[in-house]
Structure 1
Amino acid sequence: MLPFVILTSLAAHLLLVKVHAQASINTPYTPPPASQGQTASAKDTPNRQWANLLGNSLYFYDIQRSGQLPQDFRVSWRNNSVPDDGKDVNIDLSGGYFDAGNYIKATLPLCWVLTQMAWSGLSFGHGYNAAAQTPYLDRALRQGLDWILQASSVDGEVVVFIGKESTDNVYFGGDQNIPTNDRPSYKITRDNPGTDVTAICAAALAAGSLLYNGTVLPVDSTGKLQEAADMKDEAYSTQLLTRAQSLYDQAQNSLPQQVYQKAVPEVAWAYASSDFDDNLILGGTFLALATGQQNYSQYAQSIYSNSSYGYPVTSGALNWDTHQPAVPVLLVQAALANPNLNINADKYRAAAEVYLDPLVNKKMDGTKYTKGGLFLIPGDSDDASLNPALNCAALAVIYSRLATSGSKTNSYLAWARTQVDYALGNNPAHVVYSVGLHPSSPKNPQSALATGSSSGSVDNIDTDPPTERWVLYGGLVGGPAKDDSFSDRRSDYRETEVALDYVSPMLVLAAHRLAIGDTTDPFYVTMTEPVSSGGDGGLSIGAKVGIAIGCIIGFFLLLAGLAWVFRRSIKRFLNRRREPKHIPLEP
Structure 2
Amino acid sequence: MTWRKDSALKDGFEIGVDLTGGYYDAGDNVKFNLPMSFSITMLAWSVIEFGDSMGSDQQHALEAIRWGTDYLMKATSIPNFIYVQVGEPYNDHNCWERPEDMDTARTPYAISKDFPGSEVAAEIAAALASSSIVFKRSNCTYSQELIRRAEMVFSFADKYRGFYNDTLYSWVCPFYCDYSGYQDELIWGAAWLYKATSKADYWDYVVKNASTLGNYNYNEFGWDNKNAGINVLVTRLNTCNSDLFIEKANKFACNLLPESPTRAVNYSAGGLMFKEGGSNMQHVTALSFLALVYSRYLEETDSVVACDGGVMADMNRFIKLAKGQVDYILGSNPMGLSYMVGYSGHYPQKIHHRASTLPSIDQHPCFIDCNGGKLYFNSSNPNANVLTGAVVGGPFKNDTYPDERVNFAQSEPTTYINAPLVGVLAFFKAHSSNYSRSFSN
Under a length normalisation based on structure 2, what TM-score does the superposition of the two structures give?
0.89
User: Which of residues 91, 104, 124 is equivalent to 2:17?
Assistant: 91
Q: CA deviation at 1:366?
A: 5.2
CA contact (8 A) 1:455 1:464 kept: no
CA contact (8 A) 2:289 2:420 kept: yes
2:231 aligns to what?
A: 328
CA contact (8 A) 2:11 2:18 kept: yes
For residues 88 and 263 of structure 2, the distance between their equivalents in structure 1, rounded to whole angstroms, comes to 37
Kindly provide the amino acid, as one letter, of the partner of residue 390 in structure 1: T
Most deviating of 344-353 and 514-523: 514-523
Q: CA deviation at 1:134?
A: 1.4
2:2 aligns to what?
A: 76
Q: In the alignment, does 2:7 pair up with 1:112?
A: no
Map 1:354-373 to 2 at 5 A.
354-360=251-257, 361-364=259-262, 367-373=265-271
For residues 510 and 250 of structure 1, the distance between their equivalents in structure 2, rounded to whole angstroms, comes to 36
Q: CA deviation at 1:302?
A: 1.2
Which secondary structure does the structure 2 equivalent of 1:414 belong to?
helix
2:326 aligns to what?
A: 420
Q: CA deviation at 1:345?
A: 4.2
Aligned length: 416
1:353 aligns to what?
A: 250
For residues 214 and 435 of structure 2, the distance between their equivalents in structure 1, rounded to whole angstroms, comes to 40
CA contact (8 A) 2:101 2:369 kept: no
1:61 aligns to what?
A: none
Q: CA deviation at 1:267?
A: 1.3
2:153 aligns to what?
A: 247
Map 1:529-548 to 2 at 5 A.
none
1:433 aligns to what?
A: 339
Kindly provide the amino acid, as one letter, of the partner of residue 424 in structure 2: L
CA contact (8 A) 1:212 1:236 kept: yes
Q: CA deviation at 1:521?
A: 6.8
Q: In the alignment, does 2:331 pair up with 1:408?
A: no
Which secondary structure does the structure 1 equivalent of 2:116 belong to?
coil
2:174 aligns to what?
A: 269
User: Which of residues 73, 79, 85 is equivalent to 1:155?
Assistant: 79
Q: CA deviation at 1:413?
A: 1.4
Kindly provide the amino acid, as one letter, of the partner of residue 25 in structure 2: D
List alignment gaps of at least 5 residues for structure 2. 306-312, 360-367
Q: In the alignment, does 2:123 pair up with 1:200?
A: yes
List alignment gaps of at least 5 residues for structure 1. 1-74, 215-231, 525-587
Deviation per residue, 1:144-166 (Å, 9 max, x gap) = 00000001111111111112233
1:344 aligns to what?
A: 241
Which secondary structure does the structure 2 equivalent of 1:443 belong to?
coil
Kindly provide the amino acid, as one letter, of the partner of residue 223 in structure 2: W
Distance 1:425 1:512, change over 3 A: same
Q: CA deviation at 1:514?
A: 3.1
2:292 aligns to what?
A: 397
Under a length normalisation based on structure 1, what TM-score does the superposition of the two structures give?
0.68
Which secondary structure does the structure 2 equivalent of 1:187 belong to?
strand
CA contact (8 A) 1:313 1:355 kept: no
Kindly provide the amino acid, as one letter, of the partner of residue 213 in structure 1: K
Q: In the alignment, does 2:221 pair up with 1:318?
A: yes
Kindly provide the amino acid, as one letter, of the partner of residue 125 in structure 2: A
Kindly provide the amino acid, as one letter, of the partner of residue 189 in structure 1: S
For residues 210 and 162 of structure 1, the distance between their equivalents in structure 2, rounded to whole angstroms, comes to 27
2:419 aligns to what?
A: 504
Which secondary structure does the structure 1 equivalent of 2:85 belong to?
strand
For residues 259 and 97 of structure 1, the distance between their equivalents in structure 2, rounded to whole angstroms, comes to 23
Distance 1:295 1:314, change over 3 A: closer
For residues 120 and 390 of structure 1, the distance between their equivalents in structure 2, rounded to whole angstroms, comes to 12
Superposition RMSD in Å: 2.0
1:374 aligns to what?
A: 272
For residues 362 and 429 of structure 1, the distance between their equivalents in structure 2, rounded to whole angstroms, comes to 27
Larger radius of gyration: 1
Map 1:167-206 to 2 at 5 A.
167-180=91-104, 182-206=105-129
Distance 1:105 1:202, change over 3 A: same
Q: In the alignment, does 2:164 pair up with 1:260?
A: yes
Q: In the alignment, does 2:386 pair up with 1:471?
A: yes
